[in-house]
Each structure stands twice: as structure tokens, then as C-alpha cells.
């Protein structure tokens, strides 16, 4: 049975969206609630509004609607995505990981698209990520050039965007994370899926919507893969406590 929350609770709230096929929604809630100590609850895809106390929205990984048609293509039409769009247009912070990134691209909240991995098979592994920009609200706990160690698990994670759009994004600092080796070198060998320019995570032009293929929620415990995910999720928590980015 899906879990629900009441709107208007008056507390700092991270709304973790839940679609049919989501499989990282509870992991994301655990990371925010049990590890970072934030109020985080699940919000069903069929709801038409976010709770009034929402300070940030998290779109988790998984296989929304079984990835039929294209990854994220059906979830993009869920009622809650319209509410997320309104929230983002007001400047509210939105973070999408893996399938969440795919949904953000499908919905037009982020530029580009995610295609099949270049070797055409599913990847489940840890990767290194170089922080390209240290910005509020998503990477303020990091310094430019820091290397994070965070897992990926996807079959369609090759980020692509038109060359002229990529040039604009690069010039405006919209690339937040790139796949790299342990020394922080961005090389073709360090690119696990064929993403253009080794891109692992981007923000929109306004800077309040962030999508990435790696899973920071799976890197929040020292005994299970390390804690580098806290750098990204903790940055979002800091921004929410400070009043967001609107």
C-alpha cells in the first residue's frame, strides 16, 4: 500500500515522489530522514498538489511505468509532475536522480535527453565524479575539482544535447558533474555510458533544478559504499534550511 502525507504540516519537508515502478523512493527518504535528519515523506504520482510545507522535491530512480515508450516518457504526464513544474517555476529546488533525471528531461525542466548506454547493456558500478561547479543548492558542500565516489545503475544514461545547447550550458556553468577517473581526469575511459562531454549531472539555467544519473542516496553510509552522496544531498538540505533558492 502506498504511503501518503497530509498537506500543510508546517515543517521543513522534502517531498520524495513515488511512481509505479519507482525503486529508490524509500532509499531517498531514508537518506534524507534517517541519515541527514530532515523531514522527508513520499508523495504519490497521482496527487495533483505538493504538500504546502514542501521545501524541495526529489524525483528518485527506478523504472516509472516500466520504462514503456521511453524512460520517463509516461511519468512526465503524471499529475504530480505538473505540480513540480509549478514549484520549479517559483524557484523551488528540484533534484532528480537516474529515472528522476530522465523525467526532468522529458518534462522540459532540463535540456537534453538520456539515451541507451553506448555498449547497450545495463551498468551497475561505482564511478568517480568531478565537481565542476560549487553552487547553491546542490553542490555547495563541495569545492570545484573535488572527486566524489558514487554508484550508478542504469541502462539508458547516455546524456545527449544539441552542440549549440551544450556550448551555451558550458558557458553558463550548467554542468555540475562529469565522469572522471580517481585522479579527477576527465577521459573517454572514465565515461561509463557514452554521455556527451562526460556529463553526469546538470542544472537548468536558473540553477534550481538538478538532474544526475548517479545515486547519491546509495552513498550515505560508510559501511555501504561510502558517504560522498551526503555532499550533494546535504547541500540541498543546507539550502532548504536557509530558505531555498527562489
The residues annotated with a catalytic role in the active site are 98, 215, 217
Q: What does the block give as the cell for 76?
A: 512526465
What's the rounded Cα separation, in Å, for the pair 213 and 11?
29
Could you tell me if 14 and 58 are in contact, meaning their C-beta atoms sit under 8 angstroms apart? yes
Could you tell me if 109 and 204 are in contact, meaning their C-beta atoms sit under 8 angstroms apart? yes
Could you tell me if 73 and 35 are in contact, meaning their C-beta atoms sit under 8 angstroms apart? no
Could you tell me if 162 and 119 are in contact, meaning their C-beta atoms sit under 8 angstroms apart? no
* 83 SS3 class: helix
Q: First and final CA of the chain: distance in angstroms?
A: 35
Burial class (CB in 10 A: 0-12, 13-18, 19+), 121: exposed
**Residue that is written with C-alpha cell 532548504 in the block:** 240
What's the rounded Cα separation, in Å, for the pair 48 and 97?
22
Amino acid at each position: 500500500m502506498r504511503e501518503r502525507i497530509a498537506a500543510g504540516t508546517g515543517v521543513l519537508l522534502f517531498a520524495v515522489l513515488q511512481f509505479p515502478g519507482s525503486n529508490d523512493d524509500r532509499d531517498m527518504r531514508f537518506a534524507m530522514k534517517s541519515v541527514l535528519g530532515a523531514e522527508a515523506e513520499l508523495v504519490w504520482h497521482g496527487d495533483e498538489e505538493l504538500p504546502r510545507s514542501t521545501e524541495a522535491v526529489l524525483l528518485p530512480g527506478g523504472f516509472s511505468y516500466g520504462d514503456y515508450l521511453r524512460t520517463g516518457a509516461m511519468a512526465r504526464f503524471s499529475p504530480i509532475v505538473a505540480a513540480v513544474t509549478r514549484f520549479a517555476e517559483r524557484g523551488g529546488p528540484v533534484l532528480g536522480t537516474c529515472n528522476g533525471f530522465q523525467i526532468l528531461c522529458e518534462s522540459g525542466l532540463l535540456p537534453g535527453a538520456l539515451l541507451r548506454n553506448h555498449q547497450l547493456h545495463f551498468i551497475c558500478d561505482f564511478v568517480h565524479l568531478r565537481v565542476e561547479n560549487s553552487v547553491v543548492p546542490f553542490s555547495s558542500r563541495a569545492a570545484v575539482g573535488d572527486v566524489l565516489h558514487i554508484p550508478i545503475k542504469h541502462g539508458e544514461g547516455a546524456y545527449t544535447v544539441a552542440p549549440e545547447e551544450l556550448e551555451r550550458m558550458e558557458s553558463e556553468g550548467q554542468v555540475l558533474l562529469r565522469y572522471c577517473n580517481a585522479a579527477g581526469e576527465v577521459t573517454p575511459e572514465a565515461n561509463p555510458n557514452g554521455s556527451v562531454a562526460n556529463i553526469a549531472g546538470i542544472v537548468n539555467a536558473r540553477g534550481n533544478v538538478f538532474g544526475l544519473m548517479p545515486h547519491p542516496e546509495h552513498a550515505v553510509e560508510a559501511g555501504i559504499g561510502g558517504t560522498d552522496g551526503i555532499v550533494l544531498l546535504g547541500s540541498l538540505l543546507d539550502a532548504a534550511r536557509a530558505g531555498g533558492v527562489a
